[in-house]
Structure 1
Amino acid sequence: MGTYKPGAFGPFNGRIGDVVASRWKGLNVVKNRPAKSTKPATANQLDQRARFGLVTGFTSKAADLIAIGFRNLDGKVTAGNILAKEMMKSAILGVYPDYELDFPGISLSQDGKLDLGAKLKVQALAEQTVEVSWVSGAMPTKVADVTDGVHILLYNSDKNKIIQSAEGLVRGDNRVTIYVPGSFIGDKVHCYLFFASSKNKEVSPTAYLGVLTVLA
């Protein structure tokens, strides 16, 4: 992979012949189009592809939230790649080809210094709504900042779709009610929450709040 300087018409994305151009980590990059192999995949390759596809199916959906949770990264490794690597190691259950994600084992943030709070709770309410609540601080010796951002992910494992909390939600709100689409009714939804400081790059650990079934 190499970089290039845009010409008179600016940067381009896509494939031209055997060269693929894209934007990566703020750089304009080009690389050769990978050649297609005529060899049948080995059992190990099929296993890895199944695991990788399962993991990236999750991380690609939650990319924006993951970027916040892993915003302390140095270098050019993306947050999604870091989380995908961790999930490949410790968040997959079952044997090939019947793999499934270990949802409680997924963390959307690096374990940071921020207090995670207490009495974290999620519940399904009528009319396609989910309520998430928390108590601002759990550490007696440290006062939690009520301006910390609250980041919530609802993952529909039946349809591989997500709902994220709206921007502007802060620790001092203590609860939020999230509306989900009618297509989610009867589906299982997994809930995650973490805090991110509005004043610096600190984040809290991620809390897996459990799984619920969306009500009509």
Structure 2
Amino acid sequence: MGIINQGILGGVSGQVGNVIGASWKGIDYLRIKPSSVANPRTEGQVDQRSKFSTVLRFLQTMTDFLRVGFKLYANKMTQFNAAMSYNLNNGITGAYSNYSIDYANALVTRGNLTGAFGGAATSPNAATVDVTWTDNSSSGSAMATDRALILLYNAVRGESVFTTAGPARSVGLESITVPSEYTGEDVQVFLSFVSEDGSKVANSTYLGSVTVA
């Protein structure tokens, strides 16, 4: 039974017919009870769930990184949800119901700051990945003081190693230490930049897969 606390136009709690009243952060709202579905596992639903779980497995390893990388797109949603939305639409490859992340088109940061140029990744030393780039601080909105955002994703382990406080764009190099257990395993490498005051972020650039020495 539903209860109307403040007259017919407000304060509804519980269920009245197929209308459910509730309150969130002091805001009263109404929603329609969804109709029962005879087959909740239709092909379309399974397909969407497969895509969703694929992106979720990827992004849930880098939640703290996304707070920086997608903060400019967290409009009435969390940074994580903004990243989910973008990558569900742009960062998946494969067919029903066998999907994987399309790393070349996926983004782990998003914004209009001028991105990386001439980026590359190697692993010349044990448990270390070196990321290099060309200083393009004279191009577009890029500044020499922009800080590097670097993320390494290990799909086998479902883990990410990253920094949100890398060296300045003008430096052109950062060495990232990874767990020794990563030796012989591949990591997917992404490079981006954030302005010194944190107000601008670049789209991430995928630098490819690197086998850890």
TM, length-normalised to structure 2 = 0.76
Q: Tell me the residue number matched to 2:129.
A: 130
Matches within 5 A, 1:121-200: 121-137=120-136, 139=138, 144-165=142-163, 167=165, 169-200=167-198
Q: Call closer, same or farther: CA 1:76–1:144 in 2, change over 3 Å.
A: closer
Give the gaps of 5 or more residues in structure 1: 6-36
Quote the RMSD (CA, aligned, Å). Answer: 2.8
User: Residues 70-89 of structure 1 correspond to what in structure 2 (within 5 A)?
Assistant: 70-73=70-73, 75-89=75-89
Matched, 1:3 2:24: yes
Amino acid at match of 2:52: F
CA deviation map 1:139-178 (0-9, x unaligned): 45x5843321211000012221100026353223321111
Measured after TM superposition, the shift of residue 50 of structure 1 is: 1.2
Contact kept in structure 2, 1:117 and 1:135, CA below 8 Å: yes
User: Structure 1 segments of 4 or more deviating over 4 A?
Assistant: 37-40
SS in 2 for 1:108: coil
* 3-state secondary structure, aligned to 2:77: coil
Percent of pairs with identical residues: 27
**Letter paired with 1:132:** V
Q: Distance in 1 between matches of 2:74 and 2:142?
A: 26
2:8 match: none
Which residue identity is paired with 2:106?
I
Instruction: Name the counterpart of 1:118.
Output: 117
Contact 1:122 1:209 in 2 (8 A): yes
- 2:90 equivalent in structure 1: 90
Q: Distance in 1 between matches of 2:160 and 2:72?
A: 24
> Which has the larger Rg?
2
Secondary structure of the residue aligned to 2:115 is: coil
The Cα of 1:122 is off from its aligned counterpart by 0.7
CA distance in 2, matches of 1:161, 1:130: 15
1:57–1:160: 8 Å Cα contact kept in structure 2? yes
In the alignment, structure 2 segments of 5+ residues that lack a partner are 1-21, 27-36
Question: Contact 1:91–1:106 at 8 Å: present in 2 too?
Answer: yes
Give, in whole Å, the separation in 2 of the partners of 1:74 and 1:169.
Answer: 25
